[in-house]
Structure 1
Amino acid sequence: MSMQVIIKLIATMLLVVIFISVQNNEAILPTAKTSSLYEEIEAKQKQYYIAPQDARIDKVWKKTPGLNGRKINVEKSYQNMKKSNKFNEKDLVFDKIPPKVSLQDLPSSPIYRGNEHKQKVTFLINVSWGEEFVPQILEILDKHHIKANFFIDGAFVQNNKQHVQMIEEAQHVIGSHGYNHPDFSKMDRNTAKENLEKANSILQAFTEEDIRLFAPPAGSFSSQTVEAADSLDMETILWSVDTIDWKNPTQEVLIQRVLARLHNGATILMHPTESTSSSLDQLIVLIKNEGYQIVDFPQLINENR
């Protein structure tokens, strides 16, 4: 084959490659232009950077979860924008920056709320009685596609297995409320641990997940209570907003009580009562209207923004 023929073949092949690239809108842009876009994305790193927040022991709110930070992934963002060769905020890709200190790194301490910069809240529903209101509460939660947290007394389970099964089947979080509604503040560490183990052994029959959350009845606990729970890899959970629904307030009073105290990371305490079951539907709508997302407790305390 002559040199001229070879040169013609190479030229033809190059023309085919260029034609295909143009057809696919992938024509190679001038180097200076693409480099300029890449540099523009790099230059905006500081503008979009958010530093991570470490988990901490707050003086008032005790164990407080941290939050991931974020930074621009320049290369992936550039790949999203190079076709148009224009900066577009919607095409930015971010990398998470995990905090150096997470909840599991902290010493045992109760958790009262989520991170104050996270616009999410959660429902803590303590169940030792009120089984007649459980189905209606579950129905309302399902209507709004909300997952809540049910802290169930081990003794309650014995006569209300069907209600616990309903809670599990609806995929709500199941936590412990101890066994037989005791006053944990009067227990030593070993007694508290035995009580939690007894409740867990009953609750574990209804869920494949380990019981990791514990809400002490009436919010009564001591440092030994928290240490006992921690020894079982359980977090002790309190609340930051109380419906006081056990006093049977009117619907208006209950709703205003919650809305007046609502905040980022709020943990809203309630029970299966007539007041809660009649107020819950409207309460959910109003909380969402305030801009909050209602999530389960694990989502509230995770490090995702």
Structure 2
Amino acid sequence: MNQFYVFHIKRVKQLIIILIIAFFTAGILYVQNFMQFPVFSTSDGPKAVYRGETKNNEVSLTFNITWGDVKAEPILNILKKEGISNATFFLSASWAERHPDLVSRIIKDGHQIGSMGYAYKNYTDLEKEEIRRDITKAQEVFLELGVKDVDLLRPPTGNFNKEVLNIAQKSGYTVVHYSIDSEDWTNPGVDKIIENTVSDLKGGDIILLHASDSAKQTEEALPAIIKNIKEKGLKNVTIEKLVANTEVKSSEVK
């Protein structure tokens, strides 16, 4: 009996040790996954902007466009109707060169243009030179279209690391992420897009929306989003205005 009791205690201790190791490993994996969230910067190097200062009561509506022919114009129509002339559009240059009239209208309506590179490829999967070529090719397209002073970059797919930040900085770009994800590209329903966008909205937030054809419900959700921004006493501004002379938020990238 005593031998069984001792053996039982040993088994319990072994199980406890196994559980501790399992929880510790899970914790490490969680931290690693969290730290891959692509809104970081080096402490003394290039920075990725994901929000401005809360106290200024300013937010930035941003729209990604990578493909499609039909959704961008209705979005521009709604912004004009609602009196918004300072959104920021991040364009894939491959889309821009196929839609020069829409690019011209974005500028004419007062909006800011940022780059999403040329081809919609995950920069973290590319070699350094491939990233540089993609950014440079996009620069050339924007210049040919008469779009000047494009100095904001939102990496395709939203993923980036320290290497991408360094290349962007050397190419004259500031990487811009976001603090509010509408998840409109998943088409979860108009009400859900509105909820995702406005439920925690506050000054300094950068809002991610899409004007590509894959985002089929953004057009319908946008008026309510703009109305909520105004009701909260917030003002929409371009990214350039949001981060000018303010303390932008960033954390260390790994």
TM range (shorter): 0.7 to 0.9
Helix, strand or coil at the partner of 1:265: coil
- After superposition, residues 81-160 of structure 1 pair within 5 angstroms as 107-146=45-84, 147-160=86-99
How far is the alpha carbon of 1:211 from its aligned partner?
Answer: 1.1
- Structure 2 counterpart of 1:243, from 182, 205, 221: 182
Q: What CA deviation, in whole Å up to 9, does each residue of 1:11-62 have, x standing for no partner?
A: xxxxxxxxxxxxxxxxxxxxxxxxxxxxxxxxxxxxxxxxxxxxxxxxx964
Question: Given that residues 97 and 145 in structure 2 are in contact (C-alpha distance below 8 angstroms), is that contact kept between their aligned partners in structure 1?
Answer: no
Structure 2 unaligned blocks of 5 or more: 1-37, 248-254
Q: What CA deviation, in whole Å up to 9, does each residue of 1:55-91 have, x standing for no partner?
A: xxxxx9646xxxxxxxxxxxxxxxxxxxxxxxxxxxx
Helix, strand or coil at the partner of 2:199: helix
Answer yes or no: is 1:233 the counterpart of 2:172. Answer: yes
- Structure 2 counterpart of 1:283, from 225, 231, 245: 225
Query: How many angstroms apart in 2 are the aligned matches of 1:263 and 1:130?
Result: 31
Answer yes or no: is 1:193 the counterpart of 2:132. Answer: yes
Helix, strand or coil at the partner of 2:113: strand
Question: Given that residues 140 and 281 in structure 1 are in contact (C-alpha distance below 8 angstroms), is that contact kept between their aligned partners in structure 2?
Answer: yes
Whichever residue aligns with residue 112 of structure 1, its letter is Y
Query: How many angstroms apart in 2 are the aligned matches of 1:188 and 1:110?
Result: 20
Q: What CA deviation, in whole Å up to 9, does each residue of 1:161-191 have, x standing for no partner?
A: 2221221221211110111101101223332
How far is the alpha carbon of 1:156 from its aligned partner?
Answer: 0.9
Query: How many angstroms apart in 2 are the aligned matches of 1:191 and 1:290?
Result: 43
TM-aligned CA distance change 1:252 to 1:199, over 3 Å: same
- Structure 1 counterpart of 2:200, from 261, 272, 275: 261
Helix, strand or coil at the partner of 2:134: helix
Query: How many angstroms apart in 2 are the aligned matches of 1:200 and 1:261?
Result: 35
How far is the alpha carbon of 1:152 from its aligned partner?
Answer: 0.6
Task: State how many pairs are aligned.
Answer: 205
CA RMSD of aligned residues (A): 2.1
Helix, strand or coil at the partner of 1:269: strand
For 2:6, the equivalent position in structure 1 comes to none
Query: How many angstroms apart in 2 are the aligned matches of 1:127 and 1:225?
Result: 21
Helix, strand or coil at the partner of 2:49: coil
How far is the alpha carbon of 1:205 from its aligned partner?
Answer: 2.5
Query: How many angstroms apart in 2 are the aligned matches of 1:149 and 1:208?
Result: 13
Question: Given that residues 178 and 216 in structure 1 are in contact (C-alpha distance below 8 angstroms), is that contact kept between their aligned partners in structure 2?
Answer: yes
| TM-score, normalised relative to structure 1 | 0.63
How far is the alpha carbon of 1:204 from its aligned partner?
Answer: 2.0
How far is the alpha carbon of 1:130 from its aligned partner?
Answer: 3.5
Query: How many angstroms apart in 2 are the aligned matches of 1:268 and 1:106?
Result: 26
Question: Given that residues 188 and 224 in structure 1 are in contact (C-alpha distance below 8 angstroms), is that contact kept between their aligned partners in structure 2?
Answer: no
Q: What CA deviation, in whole Å up to 9, does each residue of 1:109-167 have, x standing for no partner?
A: 21111123221110111110233111111111112222111111111123222221221
Q: Which has the larger radius of gyration?
A: 1
Query: How many angstroms apart in 2 are the aligned matches of 1:255 and 1:207?
Result: 34
Helix, strand or coil at the partner of 1:122: strand
Answer yes or no: is 1:296 the counterpart of 2:238. Answer: yes
Helix, strand or coil at the partner of 1:150: strand
Whichever residue aligns with residue 142 of structure 1, its letter is K
Helix, strand or coil at the partner of 1:268: strand
Question: Given that residues 168 and 206 in structure 1 are in contact (C-alpha distance below 8 angstroms), is that contact kept between their aligned partners in structure 2?
Answer: no
TM-aligned CA distance change 1:130 to 1:170, over 3 Å: same
Question: Given that residues 185 and 216 in structure 2 are in contact (C-alpha distance below 8 angstroms), is that contact kept between their aligned partners in structure 1?
Answer: no
Identity of aligned residues (%): 26
How far is the alpha carbon of 1:304 from its aligned partner?
Answer: 6.7
